[in-house]
Structure 1
Amino acid sequence: MMSLAVAGKALWVVLIVAWYLLRRPFDRRARRAKLTVDRRKGADTLRLAISLTGLGIIPAVYAATSQPGFASYAPSPVLFALGILTGIAALLLFRLTHKALGQMWSVSLQLKQDHKLITTGIYKRLRHPMYTAFWLMALTQALLLPNYIAGLSGLAGFGFLFFSRIGAEEQMMEEAFGEEYRQYRARTWRVLPLVY
Structure 2
Amino acid sequence: MEENHLPVFGIGPYLVLIMGIITITSSICSYLHLIPIYKINELNMVFLILGIILIILGIIFWISAVLISKIDREVENNNLVTTGIYAYVRHPIYAAFFYIATGLILISQNILLFILPLIFWVFLTAAMIKTEEKWLIDKYDDDYINYSKKVNRFIPKVI
Write the mapping of 1:120-131 to structure 2, written as runs, cut at 5 A: 120-131=83-94
- Residues 137-181 of structure 1, C-alpha deviations (whole Å, 9 max, x = no match): 2331232002244x4364155224213213122111111222332
What is aligned with 1:87? Answer: 55
Contact conserved, 1:127 with 1:188, CA < 8 A, in 2?
A: yes
- In structure 2, distance between residues paired with 1:35 and 1:48: 24
Contact conserved, 1:50 with 1:158, CA < 8 A, in 2?
A: no
What is aligned with 2:150? Answer: 187
Contact conserved, 1:86 with 1:136, CA < 8 A, in 2?
A: yes
Write the mapping of 1:13-24 to structure 2, written as runs, cut at 5 A: none
How many residue pairs get aligned? The number is 152
1:98 is aligned with what amino acid? V
2:22 is aligned with what amino acid? G
2:103 is aligned with what amino acid? T
| Structure 2 unaligned blocks of 5 or more | none
- Shift of the 45–122 alpha-carbon distance from structure 1 to 2, 3 Å rule, reads closer
Contact conserved, 2:58 with 2:97, CA < 8 A, in 1?
A: yes
Give TM-score scaled by structure 2 length: 0.70
- In structure 1, distance between residues paired with 2:157 and 2:118: 24
- In structure 2, distance between residues paired with 1:161 and 1:123: 21
Write the mapping of 1:115-194 to structure 2, written as runs, cut at 5 A: 115-149=78-112, 151-152=113-114, 154-168=116-130, 169-194=132-157
Contact conserved, 2:16 with 2:94, CA < 8 A, in 1?
A: no
- In structure 2, distance between residues paired with 1:46 and 1:130: 13
Q: Percent identity?
A: 19
- In structure 2, distance between residues paired with 1:46 and 1:96: 21
Write the mapping of 1:50-65 to structure 2, written as runs, cut at 5 A: 50-63=18-31, 65=32
What is aligned with 1:67? Answer: 34
| Structure 1 unaligned blocks of 5 or more | 1-33, 106-111
2:46 pairs with 78, 92, 97, which one? 78
Q: What's the C-alpha RMSD, in Å, of the aligned pairs?
A: 3.4
- In structure 2, distance between residues paired with 1:186 and 1:143: 30
- Residues 92-131 of structure 1, C-alpha deviations (whole Å, 9 max, x = no match): 12211222143258xxxxxx54332111111123212233
